[in-house]
Amino acid sequence: MKMKLSIIGLFTLFLFGFSLNKDVETVIIGNQIWMAKNLNVSHFNNGDAIPEAKTDQEWMKAGAEGKPAWCYPNKDSNNEEKFGKLYNWYAANDPRGIAPKGMHLSTPADWKELVIYLGGLNPGGNKIKSKTGWKDSGNGSDAVGFNALPAGSRTADGIFFLFGESAFWWLESKNGGTSDNRSFVNNYSAEIEISGAYKRTGFSLRCLKD
């Protein structure tokens, strides 16, 4: 009986498209199932490695050539477990895929639905920010379990910026040009904002169930 239940359970997970990767923690927010942490992978879905840019020069070179790259938040590997990795746009939107099986990189439409569920851009930011870890009394209520942490960013020039003060996520997109959309929250506002950013910049990634 135990074996039969186990097989049925596995089949159910497969049928509904849930990833069997135990490292992927999820949270239900309205009709969406989001990752409860930022993405933390170093390979594309086909097994190819995503290059780590350890130096400013490596980061700038990858961006200038339009190639994927990742780095540790605030240039510290100790931040990886809590904050995940930072990726440039070229890694986030590479055709080889970066989202876990059965999931996809968050899109503008996904964020629009999330914002509506949260009751608007403001106080939506406060509702997704973690209860601790933000500078200058910028902690949120984390009312829905999104657990947005201030991993900061890495500029096109390789400079680490706003660690402890802001959280940024690349959105899934195939726009041409040098910039594309990102969503973000910061420590001095209760608002979720969506605006453009240079593709050479490093941000966090969040995925949700297909």
Residue 87 above 70 pLDDT? yes
Question: Residue 11 CB: number of other CB atoms within 10 A?
Answer: 10
Mean pLDDT of the chain: 90
Whole-angstrom Cα distance, residue 102 to residue 146?
A: 19
Beta-carbon contacts of 5 under 8 Å, excluding residues fewer than 6 positions away, are none
Q: Sign of the C-alpha dihedral, residues 127, 191, 92, 38?
A: negative
pLDDT tens string 31-48 = 999 999 999 999 999 999
Per DSSP, helices labelled H in the chain are 2-15, 56-64, 80-83, 89-92, 108-118, 121-128
What is the three-class DSSP state of 12? helix
User: Count of alpha carbons within 13 Å of 32, Cβ hemisphere only?
Assistant: 25
Measured CA angle at 152 (ends 150, 156), to 5 deg: 165
Domain residue extents for the chain: 25-209
Percent of the chain at pLDDT above 90? Answer: 86
Q: Is the pLDDT of residue 3 over 80?
A: no
Rounded CA separation 185/3 (Å): 46
**Residue 176 clears pLDDT 90, i.e. is over it:** no
Q: What is the pLDDT of residue 1?
A: 34
pLDDT > 70 fraction of the chain, expressed in percent and rounded: 89
Q: What is the pLDDT of residue 194?
A: 95
pLDDT at 15 over 70: no
